[in-house]
Amino acid sequence: MGSDRITGTQSPGLAEILNAPGGPSYRQIEYWVDKGYLRPEGAGNEGDRAMWSWPPAEQRVAVAMGRLVADGLRPDVAERIARLQVEGSTTIFDRLVAAGLRPDAAERVARHPTGGPVVLAPGVIISLFPLPDSVVEAVA
């Protein structure tokens, strides 16, 4: 993080990602590219990673992934949600399904008049908003 912040232009768009508040580290970016979660232009070619080019949309995906992973999501889930955000899909249902929730469960949560909490199974509760500690303790 702190030492990963740069001001140079090693790779077009990379500085914007690394310097964004909550953005990922360089190591995270390399790993996510290797795993296919991020797709900078030129990533499939053998050669210098400094030649990667980061289009604005992919920069936004990388930064959103960094924030989501910092919040505790796995990179594969964070990538799906980040792409939905960047592509403009903001429906609650789409985001819940992208996070790995079954469509029937996602529909129950999305249709709930207050956004939850919805009990999906004994001991499994989901809410679109933070729950008071008393509710979390009662469910646990």
Domain match, 107 and 75 both: no
CB atoms within 10 A of CB 117: 18
Encoding tokens for residue 49?
Answer: 């990673």
Domain match, 14 and 38 both: yes
Higher pLDDT, 25 or 45: 25
pLDDT of residue 111: 67
Q: For the chain, what is the domain count?
A: 2
What pLDDT band is residue 89 in, cutting at 50, 70 and 90? low
How far apart, in whole angstroms, are the C-alpha atoms of residue 38 and residue 31? 9
Domain match, 19 and 70 both: yes
Range of the domain at 130: 103-140
Domain match, 75 and 37 both: yes
How far apart, in whole angstroms, are the C-alpha atoms of residue 62 and residue 14? 10
Question: Looking at the domain assignment, is residue 97 inside a domain?
Answer: no
pLDDT of residue 59: 93
Question: Looking at the domain assignment, is residue 96 inside a domain?
Answer: no
Coil, helix or strand for 4? Answer: helix
Higher pLDDT, 79 or 46: 79
What pLDDT band is residue 13 in, cutting at 50, 70 and 90? confident
How far apart, in whole angstroms, are the C-alpha atoms of residue 73 and residue 76? 8
CB atoms within 10 A of CB 111: 11
Q: Which of 48, 68, 90 is the last residue of a domain?
A: 90
Encoding tokens for residue 74?
Answer: 């796995």
Rg over alpha carbons for the chain, rounded to the nearest Å, is 18
Q: Residue 119: beta bridge partners?
A: 125
What pLDDT band is residue 97 in, cutting at 50, 70 and 90? confident
